Each structure stands twice: as C-alpha cells, then as structure tokens.
Amino acid sequence: MNRATYRRKPHPKRDDRVLRNRIKEIAHSRVRYEYLRIYVLLRREGWIVNHKKVHRIYKEECLSLRIKRHKKRVSAARRLEQLEVSKIDECWSMDFVADQLFNGRKIRGGI
C-alpha cells in the first residue's frame, strides 16, 4: 500500500442542512420541478453547487416525481348496447384472428 494513501486524513463532511432545506422549499413550492430545474433556480439565487450534489440530495429526500403513464383511449366504452335478437339469422358474427377489448386486453380467436 502506498504511504500517501495510508497516511491521508479524511476530509470532514460538509454540513448541507441549509442547502437541503432550500431544495425542499423549492420542491414543495414548485411541485412539478425536477432536480435540474431546481439546480438552475439555485444557481440563479447565487448558490455555488454541483448538479450531481443537487441530484443526490433530491433523491435522498425522496422528492422524485412519479412517472406519468399515458391512459388508453376509452372510445369503445361509449358504444351502444346490442339489441336482443328475436329471430333466426338476425345477428351475424365475424371470424377474427386477433382483436382488442375496450379495456385494452387482447383476444385471440380463429376459425
């Protein structure tokens, strides 16, 4: 082992409480902002801070946003109900290979 690494004294951790509080304030006042936008606001306020440090604090404080998922279109939900069949050959059906239900589930069928 190198003597320089063996004798090296560790640096004391910096106190980030003020920065953490400011990041939390910005995240609560501007709900849709992610860490990069918060980083830009901090830089505009005069904080000299690295974007990686802002990201680390943002994750540690559990401020991450949930990922929005696109909802499927529900156009099939507004269809009219089928009328009751009263005679023979009044209702016909079609053969299909694959289809999709109104809620997105796939159906496979065949001849």
Asked whether residue 40 is domain-assigned, the answer is: yes
Secondary structure letter of residue 63 according to DSSP: -
Predicted local distance difference test score (pLDDT) of residue 97: 66
Phi, psi angle pair for 99, to nearest 5° = -150, 180
* Residue 95 pLDDT greater than 80, yes or no: no
For the chain, what is the domain count? 1
pLDDT digits (tens, 9 = 90+) for 44-67: 999 999 999 999 999 999 888 766
In a domain, 39, yes or no: yes
The parent domain of residue 46 ranges over 14-60
In a domain, 54, yes or no: yes
Residue 95 lies in a domain: no
Which of the two residues, 31 and 43, has the higher pLDDT score? 43
Q: What is the pTM of this model?
A: 0.52
Q: Is the torsion defined by CA of 28, 30, 31, 37 positive or negative? A: negative
